Amino acid sequence: MTRERIIVARQWAQYRGGLSAYRDDSKYFFGAPELSPEYTVEETETIGEGNEFTLGRVLDEMLTVDYTGVTEFPIPVLMFLGRHDYTTPAQPPAEWIAAVEAPYKQAVWFEHSAHLAPWEEPGKFLVSLLTYVRPLAD
C-alpha cells in the first residue's frame, strides 16, 4: 500500500458516492472552507496539500497498526460508523468492537451516511455525542 494508491482509491470513493451517501460527489464538503471567515482563499487552496503531506508522514506507521489480535481494551471504545462508507469501510471495525472486551463500548451506525456523518446526519451526530460521549467525560 502506497500513499499514491490510497489517494487514487479515495478519489474513486469521493467521486463514486463512498465519501458521501446518496451523492455523486462531495463538493459540498470540499467547498465548505470557502464559506468560512476563518480561512483565507490561500489557506483553502492548501487543505488538500496538507492532507497529502500528513498522509505521507504517517502512512508507514499506520500500515503497521493491526487491532485484529486485540481482544481487550482498557478504556471505553466508541465508533461512529457510516453505513455507506467506502473510504474507511465500517464492517471490519464493527466486527472488532462486537468482539472486544472493554469497560464500555458502543458502535453507533449512521444509516444515511458514508464517511462524513457529522455533515450528512448532523442532528444524529450531535445527539450521539451527547448520549454516548458526554457521560464518559462527566
Q: How confident is the model at residue 7 (pLDDT cuts 50, 70, 90)?
A: confident
Dihedral, CA of residue 14, residue 15, residue 20 and residue 21, to nearest 10: -140
Q: How confident is the model at residue 9 (pLDDT cuts 50, 70, 90)?
A: confident
Please give the share of the chain, as a percent, with pLDDT higher than 90.
Answer: 47
Annotate 22-69 with DSSP letters as a single string: T-S--HHHHTGGGG-TTS-HHHHHHHHHHHHHHHHHHHHHHTT---TT
17 phi-psi bin (left φ>0, alpha ψ -120 to 50, beta other): left
Domain boundaries, the chain: 3-62, 77-137
- Residue 85, C-alpha cell as written in the block: 462508507
pLDDT digits (tens, 9 = 90+) for 55-114: 888 888 888 888 889 999 999 999 999 999 888 888 999 999 999 999 999 999 999 999
Other beta carbons within 10 angstroms of residue 10's beta carbon come to 18
Residue 15 reports pLDDT greater than 70: no
- Residue 56, C-alpha cell as written in the block: 505521507
| Ramachandran angles phi, psi of 77, nearest 5° | -125, 125
Residue 48 reports pLDDT greater than 90: no
- Residue 6, C-alpha cell as written in the block: 490510497
Q: What is the predicted pLDDT for the residue at 108?
A: 97
Q: How confident is the model at residue 127 (pLDDT cuts 50, 70, 90)?
A: very high
